[in-house]
Structure 1
Amino acid sequence: MKLELTDRQKEIVNSLRIKDGGKNALAFDDLEKGEVTFSEIETLCGLINAEFMMEGILPTFEPNDYGLELERLLDVINKPRLSS
């Protein structure tokens, strides 16, 4: 399924790619093309979830603004898996 990211979502993905240090380069490359496998979706969602836990929540465990952006990114990336 074709995925389309906003410019801001692309910025977040690029930041995550850098933090990942090339370990999941193929998943990030395919995401840039808008074509990811279910396995790659799982990998990317795991990375986004980890980022959310480290940077996306307030001390009250509510999402901060960045956390809300990460949640929206998860929704976009995870959509093909939920639709099947």
Structure 2
Amino acid sequence: MTMTLTDRQKEIVSHLRVKDAGKSATAFDSLENGEMTLSEIDALCGLINAEFMMEGILPTFEPNEYGLELERLLDLINRPRLSS
């Protein structure tokens, strides 16, 4: 399944790749190639979730604008796992 990321989603993925410091390089490379394994999807979803918890919520525990962007990215990346 090919995923089409928006420019903003590509920006977020690039930011997450830098923050990850190469630990999940294979998963990021697979995302760019559009062919991810379930374990790579899990790894990326974990990174997105961690980013959401640290940067994507308001003190009221509602998502901020960045959090909403992360939720949309998570939905996109997680879609192949949900459809299998």
Shared fold (TM-score greater than 0.5)?
A: yes
Structure 1 gaps of 5+ residues are none
Determine the C-alpha separation between the residues in 2 that align with 1:13 and 1:34: 13
- Of structures 1 and 2, the one scoring higher in RCO (CA 8 A, sep 6+) is 1
Determine the C-alpha separation between the residues in 2 that align with 1:2 and 1:50: 24
- TM-aligned CA deviation for residue 58 of structure 1: 0.1
- TM-aligned CA deviation for residue 38 of structure 1: 0.7
The structure 1 segments of at least 4 consecutive aligned residues displaced by more than 2 Å after TM superposition are: none
Corresponding position of 1:36: 36
Corresponding position of 1:51: 51
Corresponding position of 1:76: 76
Determine the C-alpha separation between the residues in 1 that align with 2:9 and 2:34: 12
Structure 2 gaps of 5+ residues are none
Determine the C-alpha separation between the residues in 2 that align with 1:74 and 1:54: 15
Among the aligned pairs, what percent are the same residue?
A: 79
Corresponding position of 1:65: 65
Count residues in correspondence: 84
